[in-house]
Amino acid sequence: MFADETTILGAGQVRSVQTLAVPSLRLAPGRAEAEEAGRAYFAYLDRLARPVLRVRRSPSDGVAIRLCGVTLLSFGPPEIVVEPGTAAIRFPIAAGLLVRRGSKDRGELRFELHAERLVMAVEGYYPALAGSGNSSFRRWLYGHTQAAVHRRVAARYLDEWLDRLTTCRVRP
C-alpha cells in the first residue's frame, strides 16, 4: 500500500514522505541495502528522464541532476545510518536552480528500509518555485508541478526498489 504525505510549511519549507508498506514481507534492513537504494535511485532517474535530464556523479561521491547543462539539484556525499530495525541513506541537498536562494538549510533526500516498509523522503527542502512568502499561487504551482513529478517518480521507484529487494531474496 502506497502512502503520500506532502506538506509545505509556512516559510516555504517542504516535507514530502512517500511510503510503500509491504506487510506480507519481512525485509532485512542493512547498510548494503540502504546504499543500493540510494545509488539505484539516481541510476533509475537517469534512465527514466534521458535525454532531458542527466544524472552525474562527482569525484567526492555527490550527485548532480542536470537539464541542458544546468544543475537543477545537487547533493552532497551520502551518509548511511543503520539502527536496529532500520537502515537509511541520506543525501544532503547542496545547491541547484530548484533550491531557493539564501536558504541556509537546504534539506535532504532520504531512503529508509524498515522490516515492513520502504520510505523515500524529502525534508527540510526550500524549493525556489514555492517562494519564501505565503503566496497561495506559488504553493499551488509547486504542488502541481515539481511536487507532483516527485510523488509520481517516488511511487514508481519504490515499486522498483521493492521488486529489486524481493528478487534478491528469491535467488538461490
CB-CB contact of 72 with 98 (8 Å): yes
- How many Å from the N-terminal Cα to the C-terminal Cα in the chain? 28
From CA 78, how far away is CA 166, in angstroms rounded? 24
Q: What is the mean pLDDT of residues 43-71?
A: 91
pLDDT at 43: 93
* Residue 130, helix vs strand vs coil: coil
Burial of 52 (0-12, 13-18, 19+ CB in 10 A): exposed
Q: What is the mean pLDDT of residues 48-65?
A: 90
Strand partners, 98: none
User: What is this structure's pTM?
Assistant: 0.90
CB-CB contact of 128 with 99 (8 Å): yes
pLDDT at 137: 87
Kind and range of the H or E element at 43? helix 31-49
pLDDT at 1: 86
pLDDT at 153: 93
Taken in order of first residue, the domains within the chain and their CATH numbers are 2-170 (3.30.530)
| More confident: 58 or 171 | 58
Backbone angles phi, psi at 5, to 5 degrees: -135, 105
Residue whose C-alpha cell is 514522505? 17
Q: pLDDT for 27-51, tens place per residue?
A: 889 999 999 999 999 999 999 888 8
Q: What is the mean pLDDT of residues 56-80?
A: 93
Q: pLDDT for 149-162, tens place per residue?
A: 999 999 999 999 88
Percent of the chain whose predicted confidence (pLDDT) is above 70: 95
| More confident: 77 or 166 | 77
Q: What share of the chain is helix, strand, coil (3-state, %, to 5)?
A: 30, 35, 30
> In 64-95, which positions are buried (b, 16+ CB within 10 angstroms) versus exposed (e)?
bbbeeeebbbbbbebeeebeeebbbbbbbbbb
pLDDT at 23: 80
pLDDT at 166: 78
Q: pLDDT for 83-121, tens place per residue?
A: 999 999 999 999 999 998 876 678 999 999 999 999 999
